[in-house]
Each structure stands twice: as C-alpha cells, then as structure tokens.
Amino acid sequence: MKPSRSTRRLTWYLMVLIAGVSMHARGDTAKTLVHESQFSQPLPSSTNSSADFFRTPPALSQFQPRYRSDSASQDQVNFWIYDSWLNYFEDFDLDYDGYYSRFSVEFDADTVFARVPVYAVVYLGTHDRFEAIHVSSVFHIDGDDSRDSFVIDSTLVRGFPPRDYEVLIELYDAHTDAQLTSTDGYSDADLAFVSLESQNYDTPYTEGPVVIVEEYGGSLMWSSLLILGGLAMWRRSHRQKSGR
C-alpha cells in the first residue's frame, strides 16, 4: 500500500526540518572575543612574536576537553597561581537574569625563578569537564612579584547556554609547551559558580505598561446588552415586591 500524498508531504517536511537543525547545530560553535592586559597595559589580540620566544602558543583547537584530575596531575612544584579574581560586566546582562556574557579573570602566577615566559589557557566547564575558550599571548612572570598579574577580558558570543560555570586556568612554558601550574574552583572559590551565558541567549528585557483589552462586537455585543438589561429589570422588580 502506497503512502498517501499528505503522508509523503509530511515526511518530506520532517526531513527538511531535521537537516536544518543539524546544519544549525554544526554551525553554532562556541565563540568568544578576548582582550588581554598586564601591568595595566593592553596586549595585542594576536600572539606575541618577540625574538626571545622559541615558539608561539598552539592554536585553541589543539587543546582537547580536560578533566580536573588530569590538569592537576601535571602541575610542577616550582610554579603556582597565588590568587585569581573574577569580575562581571553589569551592562552585559541585558535580560537581567543574573547571567553575564562578558567577564574578566585576573590571576597572579608566581615561580621560584627570576623571569619566565609563559602563556595561559582558559577553560569553562561543569561537572569536572572543561572546554578551552582562549589561549593567551605570551607574557612574563617575574618571581613572586604581585604586580605581574595577567588579565583576560572575555565576551561569550555564542555556544554557552545560561548556567553556573567553573573556570580552569592552566599555565604553560612558552619555550617547551609544558604545563607549569593550574587553578580552578576547588583551589580558588572565585572561579566557581560563575554565572554566564553567551550573547545569543541574552535578549534585552524591556519593562513597560501591560494592557489587556477584550473587545466584543456584532450579535454577541447586542445579546450581552439585552441580557444585562433584562437582569437589571428583574432585580428592580424583585426589590419592589420585597418592599411591599
């Protein structure tokens, strides 16, 4: 028995819809915009290429999803992140739902050595699984100097639904690409429960008067008037009889 024309048409519509959803899912990859600074001076968005750096940091695509235990196990004792701070940008919570699309993370990395060129990788994650969102430019850390803190200002453009994320920061040697140290929400509470969403989830909220209007016309309107008029006459007659 052949399917009816309406059944074939419905099947075709469903196939087109599924294909469109699949293409949208593949195209809606995570995207961020980033600005960096150190010593209160902005760094170029592209990777530094100073002569004393033997190599440039790997591309973001080279960093696979990480788990907390995997990251912590590669830390070296001669490097550590002393402290980190996180700030939201209020103007980027357009729908006032408590989730922000722009935030900055600042961290102070220290070492027993005098001066080391490094780069950082920033991850966002939930349930101990983290996705890399940015590989920084190369910068120096100078011993335990607190003035060499590094700032990464990120705007989430798409690919991040509203939720409380955790930030993971890994520090790498700019010469060898070896992981030096890391920090996350377990070691620094400032990096835990970070309320974020990308801009495609942040729709502007507008507050204004709400008016509900119901209109009736035609025969329904006249019928209503006749019923109300009859009810009024009945109530008047009933009152007159009660008063006698």
Q: What is the pLDDT of residue 10?
A: 46
Query: Which of 29-33, 41-45, 123-127, 181-185 has the least mean pLDDT?
Result: 41-45
Confidence of residue 231 (pLDDT cuts 50, 70, 90): low
Task: Give the domain range for residue 120.
Answer: 28-201
CATH number at residue 124: 2.60.40.10
CB neighbour list of residue 234: distance below 8 Å, 6 or more residues apart:
none
Percent of the chain whose pLDDT exceeds 90: 52
173 contacts 180 by C-beta, under 8 angstroms: yes
pTM: 0.68
Considering the domain boundaries, does residue 2 fall inside one?
no
Domain assignment present for residue 5? The answer is no
Q: Read off the DSSP letter of residue 47.
A: P
Q: Is residue 154 part of a domain?
A: yes
pLDDT at 111: 96
For residue 235, being part of any structural domain is answered with no
Give the closest residue to 141 by CA, choosing from 109, 175, 107, 183.
Answer: 109
Whether 234 is in a domain gets the answer no
- The predicted-structure confidence for 188-206, as pLDDT tens digits, reads as follows 999 999 999 998 888 765 4
- The reply to whether 225 falls in a domain is no
Residue 23 located in a structural domain: no
Which of 7 and 30 is assigned the larger pLDDT? 30
| Site of tokens 């190599």 | 55
* Separation CA 98–CA 109 (nearest Å): 30
Domain count within the chain = 1
Closest CA relative to residue 167, chosen from 121, 215, 99: 121
Tokens 């400032």 correspond to 190
User: Quick check: 104 and 150 in contact, CB under 8 A?
Assistant: no
Q: What is the pLDDT of residues 151-175, one digit of tens each?
A: 999 999 999 999 999 999 999 999 9
Does residue 105 register a pLDDT over 90? Answer: yes
